[in-house]
């Protein structure tokens, strides 16, 4: 064969097809091994008999590293937005709640106004998860509403309510 000529026989074609098939197989294998978002939350916690909040995502808010040390049973490490903002009552607002990786409890959060009216309640959140945005479940006129975020802790085996924490919050609805 002279320089500059390409071989058109069956061997180069078979080598090319084999390489493409090999790289395709490796790609499929890597995707399968990494799992998807359903694997990390709904499927991971499916044996616990709970409903994971539809707005819940795995990991931390904004991707920053969270404290990973195991937390003592009955305690909770979390991040909370104490000034949630909602453009209006029909649009998702900035919930921004994170349950850190080392936690040993499921949690449920709710926003309760000073007059006792509950305007938001999540479903369960497992450790190492967060809610960035969600909608209020009751209509509020535009304004600023003082209240508390109630954080309920549940035993991961029995789902028994262990207790609640309360953090002061101010909810703002723009229009």
Determine the length of the chain.
175
Q: How far apart are CA 10 and CA 23, in angstroms?
A: 20
Residue 100 has pLDDT above 90, yes or no: yes
What are residue 69's phi and psi, to 5 degrees? Answer: -60, 145
Q: How far apart are CA 97 and CA 121, in angstroms?
A: 12
Mean pLDDT computed over 96-121: 96
DSSP 8-class letter at 82: S
Mean pLDDT computed over 13-37: 60
Mean pLDDT computed over 119-136: 96
H or E stretch at 110: strand 105-113
Record the tokens describing residue 113, joined without a space: 């106004």
Residue 58 has pLDDT above 60, yes or no: yes
Residue 4 has pLDDT above 70, yes or no: no
pTM: 0.74
pLDDT, residue 37, reads 46
Task: Put the strands of the sheet holding 118-121 in their side by side order.
Answer: 85-86, 161-173, 143-155, 105-113, 118-121
Mean pLDDT computed over 148-166: 96
Q: Which residues of 42-79 are buried (b: 16+ CB within 10 A; e: fewer)?
A: eebbeeeebebbebbbeebbeeeebeeeebeeeebbbe
**Among 140, 120, 138, CA closest to 80:** 120
pLDDT, residue 47, reads 85
DSSP 8-class letter at 90: T
pLDDT, residue 30, reads 53
DSSP output for 120-134? EE--BB-SSEEEEEE
Residue 8 has pLDDT above 50, yes or no: yes
How many Å separate Cα 71 from the centre of its chain? 19
Give per-residue pLDDT as tens, 72-81.
998 999 999 9
State whether residue 58 is helix, strand or coil.
strand
Alpha-carbon distance values, 41 to 60, 108, 129 (Å)? 13, 15, 8
């Amino acid at each position: 064969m002279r320089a500059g000529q390409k071989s058109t026989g069956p061997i180069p074609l078979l080598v090319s097809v084999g390489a493409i098939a090999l790289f395709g197989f490796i790609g499929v294998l890597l995707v399968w091994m990494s799992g998807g978002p359903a694997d990390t939350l709904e499927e991971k916690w499916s044996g616990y008999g709970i409903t994971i909040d539809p707005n819940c995502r795995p990991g931390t808010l904004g991707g920053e590293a969270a404290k990973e040390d195991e937390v003592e049973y009955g305690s909770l490490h979390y991040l909370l937005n104490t000034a949630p903002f909602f453009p209006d009552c029909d649009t998702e607002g900035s919930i921004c709640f994170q349950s850190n990786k080392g936690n040993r409890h499921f949690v449920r959060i709710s926003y309760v106004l000073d007059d006792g009216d509950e305007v938001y309640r999540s479903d369960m959140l497992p450790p190492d998860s967060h809610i960035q945005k969600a909608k209020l479940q009751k209509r509020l006129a535009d304004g600023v509403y003082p209240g508390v975020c109630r954080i309920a802790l549940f035993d991961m085996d029995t789902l028994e309510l262990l207790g609640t924490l309360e953090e002061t919050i101010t909810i703002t609805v723009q229009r």
